[in-house]
Amino acid sequence: MNSPPPAALLECREVHKSFGPRTPALAGVSLAVSAGGLNALIGPDGAGKTTLMRLICGLLTAERGTVRVLGFDPVRAAQRIQERVSYMPQKFGLYEDLTVRENLDLYADLHGVSAAQRAQRYPQLLHMTDLRRFEGRLAGRLSGGMKQKLGLACTLVSSPQLLLLDEPTVGVDPLSRRELWQIVHHLVRDEGLTVLMSTAYLDEAERADRVIVLQSGRVLAEGAPQGITRLAAGRTFKLTPAAPESARTLQARLLASSTVIDAVPDAGAVRCVCAQPDGAAPAGSTPVAPRFEDGFMVLLRQRSVPEALTDILLAHPPAAASGAVIEVRDLVKRFGAFTAVDRVSFTVGRGEIFGLLGPNGAGKTTTFRMLCGLLAPSGGVLRVGGLDVARAGDAARGQLGYVAQKFSLYGPLTARENLEFFASAYGLRGAARRARIDWAMRQFELLEARGAAADLPGGFKQRLAMAAALLHEPRILFLDEPTSGADPLARRAFWRRISALADQGVTVVVTTHFMQEAEYCDHIVIMDAGRVLAQGTPAQVRALAPRHGLVEPTMEDAFIAVVERARAAEAAAPAAPAGAA
Amino acid sequence: MERRSSSEVRARLVRIGSLVRKEWRQMIRDPASIAIGVVLPVILILLFGYGLSLDVKNVPIAVLDQDGSSLASGLIGDLRLSPYFKPQSVTSLRAAEELLAQRSVEAIFTVPPDFARRASSTGAAVQLIVSGTDANTARIIEAYVNGVVSAWAARQAPALAGPVLVQSRLWFNSANDSRYFLVPGLIVLVMTLIGAFLTAMVVAREWERGTFEALFVTPVRAEEILLGKTIPYFALGMVGLALCVFSGRFLFHVPVRGSLVVLLAVSMLYVLVALAIGLLISSAAKNQLVASQVTLIATFMPAAMLSGLLFDLRSMPAGVRAITYLLPARYYVALLQTIFLAGDIWSVIVPNALALLAMLALLAVALGAITRKRLA
């Protein structure tokens, strides 16, 4: 039986879904997606984006409400839907012990893609994803960005009627992110595919045809991104800090004001969004055109009172120190024939925020591990807090806190139990231990965290991991991609805490994929293939990007320009073994 | 009414074939599966076949002197002096048998009432009853007792008219070869490991790594995913079986008195049951640690302890024995011991095979009912 295609490819009406007695993941979601175009699903962590995606695919069932996908009910006809849509889960499970080609073949077989279709599709996919060189490589040995691209390629082996992508760009560096986007755009524009994609990057949402904003399991807004941008019309301003003040302190000052709902550092200046349109603009500011992100912040603030964020107060701020707190000279790390870190040098002063940027597999995490004494360097000088890490391992380690990429928390333990464990591990005892744990629970707003750490929302986990790393009052804090996958609100709160720590004298070293966030740093280094490509203040690095007319280049432009320039030079020179681990 | 066109059947076969190929590749690239499927059977067989000999010293034995002559007490005195034994005097055979059943003693040494009289006329005999639960130990005990008795007889030679023999009886294991016993046992253990343990682990791995989430949203059917898991591990189980039978037959000369066809058929049946249990466990235990613990406790341990493989089912308390009827391994052990040591005894094979078949049917229904392409 052939029914006429429904008006909407996807329709949800009053959908409810909850997991256990906690607040529902979805509390009455209604939305419709019509054929064609790119639809972005955005919202803070725990807004219900992934749950909604899974309901649409028939992987979960709703408690109440109706869902219709391509005219089918995902509860009763899940198989029909699963035959017609393609879905890329947030954590795309590639078979790591199969090669790139074998993974593709598996999905092509499962989707019943004919040999003729493959002959046409494979070259296209391998070209778009730039994976042709790695066809025979095991998927487990690809870098994070390449894995993500392979996941997308596996999702696209067939021509689905609806493509669902759940945060496909999380943990992917700007270069790979741009490539992924080009692929998706091509499919939407040239092949007329309908895409529903959730994302934590607001600049990605801005490029969609339609956005659906989800918060606390409800649809907050739905429409063209321009509509959301317009919410901030007449409320956006730019301020340049006066000489002694840094952009960061200016930003903190602005955020403290009740008339300002958002402030972010931007190319040496600070952009802010005011609570009222055309109200009292901050003194010395010039109006600027609103961005999607500004509109998004206005939207979120309309609905929820911002959390009263208390700035972290250290009981014993690190003492003033002269000279560099971290000194790295000609640091080298080799794994067999592969050089992961190649003569890296930099210094970080007390109370500085130092950013380590680079594509997936650039050697950032390896550098980090050496700084923390987790990995012995193959060569070079490494002094942390005046101590040689290689010799005075424990003493050097005692003055630093480390937040690993995947927060090292004990999933089945509660927030307090995790803190109790880490406090004991740092040798804290009795009253001192209790005092430090109370401090951490208060300062990081963990008092309302209920249940096992594994079940906490991402933002809570990140705060808990940071709290655990600060229990022993370290002078230096290392954070490896702490904001990966975090929503804009959580990221702002995170950077406010980091700024407060730095202002009290804690030295912070951080890696990130969000180039905007580099603006919070005092100094940054851009790495690729184990080498330092550029370093300096954010303004100095930004200046490395080519200028196009009057538009101020962004940090992302600079990053892409620097990395591509270096890679072009590398390709021109006699090739050294490339490492994509 | 949905009609199955030939193209749909072909699409199904392509999907199953692709899943089997994927599973097979993962299996041969993952050293752990190969270790359990191929290396483990070989190691177990070599270990049990060659290495497992126990050091016998201070073995407790019951001594029953029904004769009471000075000749008899001389012999018993020699036994007491031997470093290998710790004799314990008993006054009745009943008391001695009780000790043996409790495994307080490993053997009963009996000097018959007319020992002294016969020794000085026609030649005498003493009786030795050894517990055969551990065939290796039993044989060593037998040899040592023989040694003690013949040394004593040599010293007493002028006073003796004829030879003094040791009439030994083996209780609880009349075949008296541990390998006869162990090879069928190993097959049960290896089949259980491959069938239940490996499958539960690889399914849990898919849950853990999130590979199922993407796999579910494809035209693939739930039962095709099950088949994709079953077929390769079934094949690996057959490899393990072949290795066990081959090495049992040619390394240790264990007889296969029944037919190989029957052996293969009942083994296939058991592997399928084990696979179904593994799949069932992994649908509840979605991480590898829990899956491995649950399968070890629910399948491997009972297969080793309660299947009649190590401990005689008849000597178990009634309550425990009742539980063994729930274990597929029990029926498989009975089948293997019959086929290896006795032959194609249909009165044993048919009921046991039917029990396994019934279990398989039950498990298949349960699997069909709970297997859904759902995350929660």
DSSP string, A191-231: H--EEEEE-S-HHHHHTSSEEEEEETTEEEEEE-HHHHHHT
Q: What is the pLDDT of residue A285?
A: 81
- Quick check: A480 pLDDT over 50? yes
pLDDT tens string B314-347: 667 888 888 889 999 999 988 988 888 778 888 8
Q: Are strands B107-111 and B59-65 parallel, antiparallel or unpaired?
A: parallel
Q: Which residue has the tokens 């109706």?
A: A66
pLDDT tens string B98-143: 888 777 888 899 999 988 888 888 888 889 988 766 666 777 788 8
pLDDT > 90: what percent of chain B?
28
B29: nearest CA in chain A? A97
Size of interface A-B (CB pairs under 8 A): 91
Q: Looking at A425-429, B35-39, B44-48, B268-272, which range is the least confident one?
A: B44-48
Q: Which residues of A touch B (CB under 8 A)?
A: 19, 54, 57-61, 78-79, 82-83, 85-89, 91-98, 102, 105-107, 109-112, 151, 154-155, 164
Q: What is the pLDDT of residue B48?
A: 67
Within 8 A of A97 by CB-CB distance, chain B residues are 25-26, 29-30
Structural domain boundaries of chain B?
Answer: 59-171, 179-375
A439 contact partners, CB below 8 Å, separation of at least 6: A315
Mean pLDDT across B61-68: 90
Q: Which of A3-7, A561-565, B57-61 has the highest mean pLDDT?
A: A561-565
- Cβ-defined contact of A93 to B211 (cutoff 8 Å): yes
Token digits of residue A48: 């219900």
Token digits of residue A371: 């700084």
Q: What is the pLDDT of residue A67?
A: 93
B16: nearest CA in chain A? A110
- Quick check: B182 pLDDT over 50? yes
Q: Are strands A353-357 and A379-384 parallel, antiparallel or unpaired?
A: unpaired
Q: What is the pLDDT of residue A580?
A: 41
Measure the CA–CA gap between A87 and A167, rounded to whole angstroms.
11
Candidates B15, B29, B375; nearest CB to A109: B15
Q: Which of A295-309, B68-82, B221-235 has the highest mean pLDDT?
A: B221-235
- Quick check: A578 pLDDT over 70? no
Q: What is the pLDDT of residue A248?
A: 79
Side-chain half-sphere exposure of B250, counting CA atoms within 13 A = 6
- Quick check: A110 pLDDT over 90? yes
pLDDT tens string A541-555: 988 888 777 677 888
Please, what's the b/e burial string for B62-80 (b: 16 or more CB within 10 A of its CB; e: otherwise)?
bbbbebebebbeebbebbe
Q: What SS3 state is found at A311?
A: coil
pLDDT > 90: what percent of chain A?
28
Please give the CATH number for the structural domain made up of B59-171: 3.40.1710.10
Whole-number average pLDDT of chain A: 85
Classify residue A457 by burial, with Cβ atoms within 10 Å: 0-12, 13-18, 19+: middle
Higher pLDDT, B360 or A233: B360
Mean pLDDT across A522-544: 90
Residue B210 Cα, gap to closest chain A Cα (Å):
5
pLDDT tens string A440-454: 998 888 887 778 888
Q: What is the pLDDT of residue A579?
A: 42
Mutate to test the interface with A, among B217, B221, B290 (most CBs of A within 10 A): B217
- Quick check: A1 pLDDT over 50? no
Token digits of residue A332: 């080298």
Measure the CA–CA gap between A230 and A236, rounded to whole angstroms.
11
Measure the CA–CA gap between B208 and A404, rounded to whole angstroms.
21
Q: How many CB atoms lie within 10 A of CB A317?
A: 15
Is residue B54 very low, low, confident or very high in pLDDT (cuts 50, 70, 90)?
very low
Q: What is the pLDDT of residue A304?
A: 61
B208: nearest CA in chain A? A93
Instruction: Give the single-character DSSP code of A94.
Output: -
| Cβ under 8 Å to A: B residues 27-66 | 29-30
pLDDT tens string B134-178: 666 777 788 888 888 888 888 887 777 778 888 888 775 555 555
pLDDT tens string A366-388: 898 888 888 889 999 888 887 88
Q: What is the pLDDT of residue A419?
A: 92
Q: Are B248 and B172 in contact (CB under 8 A)?
A: no
- Cβ-defined contact of B373 to A58 (cutoff 8 Å): yes
Instruction: Give the single-character DSSP code of A452.
Output: B
Candidates A82, A106, A155; nearest CB to B373: A82
Q: Are A209 and A192 in contact (CB under 8 A)?
A: no
Whole-number average pLDDT of chain B: 84
Its sign, for the CA torsion A298, A299, A300, A301, is positive
Within 8 A of A156 by CB-CB distance, chain B residues are none
Beta bridge partners of A11: A32, A68
Higher pLDDT, B35 or B14: B14
Candidates A91, A111, A164; nearest CB to B218: A111
- Cβ-defined contact of B375 to A151 (cutoff 8 Å): no
